[in-house]
Every structure is written in C-alpha cells, then in structure tokens.
Structure 1
C-alpha cells in the first residue's frame, strides 16, 4: 500500500487499516471489542515509525485529500494543528514511501 502511494494520493492511517483489515487475527477481534480503533491506532503508529526511520515521508493534507496550504501568517491550516501531545491530527497526515518524494 505504501509503495503505491504518491504525493498526489498519499496513504493515510485509515487507508492502511482498510488495506490490512482482513489480516487482523481472529483472536484480536474476539478479545477487544474496540479492535478496529486499536488497529487503526497501530496503523498510525506504524506509519509514524516508518517516517522516523526515513522509509516513509509525511505529507500533510486536508479533508479534500489535498495538501494543506499555509494561512496568511504562514502557519499550517487548522486541520494539521498538533493535539495536546504535540502530534498532528492523524486525519490530516498521510504518507508516501521515503523515495517517492
């Protein structure tokens, strides 16, 4: 999934989850009533780790799927604003393979 991503069509954590959803072990589904949220979070963490070791490149995007433009002060748009822990909103971040940029 990550190799097929491009700057025009990057991979989001939700898209990675959807692409790998059928691979989630049955026992994980049975023991965790919120397994979908758990595995979406795992997809997000995996993409962040891949970016940390330069195997993926982070690309900020807005709900339309396009990169967010800075506002008048040169700041990122609200969609990409960090949360309380300083992390960008997961729905506003997508990834491409590190060599795709």
Structure 2
C-alpha cells in the first residue's frame, strides 16, 4: 500500500536533477515586489504576523522559493523527499560570506 505516514496520499520517490532548478525562477524586481505584497496581504487577512525571511542576513527571494518548491511538487513533496538542501543550494550566497 502506497501512502504517507498519515495515510493521506501516496509517497513518491524523486530523483533530484540539479539542473531542474537552474531555470530563471527569480522573477523581475517588479514580480518579486508584487509577490511580497500578496504574501503580506495573505498573512494580514489571516491575522498572522509576517516577517520577510532572511538568507545570510539579506532578504530572501520568496517568489523564487515558491516557484522552486512548486516545481518540485510542493512543500510536502520537498519535505518527504528531503529536497530542502537542494532548494537552498539554488539560492546564491552573498559574496561577502
């Protein structure tokens, strides 16, 4: 029987191709700003606190994160297949580090 620990759905194996996230998922500065506005609105409508995440002390491109995770099948799939390291590696560390 295929299923996850909760029995809610199938567990899929995933062979990660490093080039899979190599495409341009960054978006333009305008797209990134629009995405952040929508993300802030989403949290505000649900009375949730939102602090823009940081990556090595700099603002994280949430649009890229969302696109990368979505391309890999979503949060659950990335978590089940332990792909968070690969997602993180698709971001460039600041040159000062």
Would you say same fold, with TM above 0.5? no
Question: TM-score normalised to the size of structure 1?
Answer: 0.28
Larger radius of gyration: 2
Question: TM-score normalised to the size of structure 2?
Answer: 0.28
Higher strand share: 1
